[in-house]
């Protein structure tokens, strides 16, 4: 079972979380929610990426085969049950496709949001993939 850790000093951003935990920024899991435009309507997609990286939306769209846009705070909360900044990699209200950037696999452990503000947990990247059903992809923006 994951060892949940609470950091009163805050974990609202990847930078805050890395500072609180005392780990590399790349070991922080950013859970980003996007909407992909489908014939049947907008589908939610979860992207797990290093705290030090930015997503390349064109690469994500190419992986999906559909256009994507960032979900609004309201869509995130309504569909996942969590507020932005606390979205965990698992346990959402609705099933969704999940992608994990290959670079995140290079860190162990990685630290992910738990769904509760300021509470995070460590997990091996391979276990994160298994638990979330993520597909590994090259989707980060190259600096």
Q: Give residues with Cβ within 8 angstroms of 129, minimum separation 6.
A: 100, 105, 136
pLDDT at residue 31, rounded to an integer:
95
Banded model confidence at residue 2, pLDDT cuts 50, 70, 90:
low
In whole angstroms, give the CA distance from residue 74 to residue 13: 19
Q: Encode pLDDT of 10-65 as tens digits.
A: 898 999 999 999 999 999 999 999 999 888 888 999 999 999 999 999 999 999 99
pLDDT at residue 65, rounded to an integer:
93
pLDDT at residue 38, rounded to an integer:
83
pLDDT at residue 85, rounded to an integer:
86
């Amino acid at each position: 079972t994951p060892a949940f850790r609470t950091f009163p000093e805050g974990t609202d951003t990847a930078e805050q979380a890395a500072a609180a935990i005392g780990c590399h920024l790349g070991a922080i899991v950013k859970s980003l929610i996007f909407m992909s435009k489908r014939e049947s309507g907008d589908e939610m997609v979860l992207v797990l990426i290093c705290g030090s990286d930015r997503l390349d939306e064109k690469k994500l769209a190419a992986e999906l085969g559909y256009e994507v846009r960032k979900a609004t705070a309201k869509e995130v909360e309504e569909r996942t049950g969590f507020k932005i900044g606390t979205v965990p990699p698992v346990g959402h209200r609705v099933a969704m496709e999940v992608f994990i950037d290959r670079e995140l696999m290079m860190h162990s452990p990685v630290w992910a949001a738990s769904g509760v503000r300021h509470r995070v947990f460590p997990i091996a990247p391979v276990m994160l993939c298994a638990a979330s059903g993520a597909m590994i992809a090259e989707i980060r923006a190259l600096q």
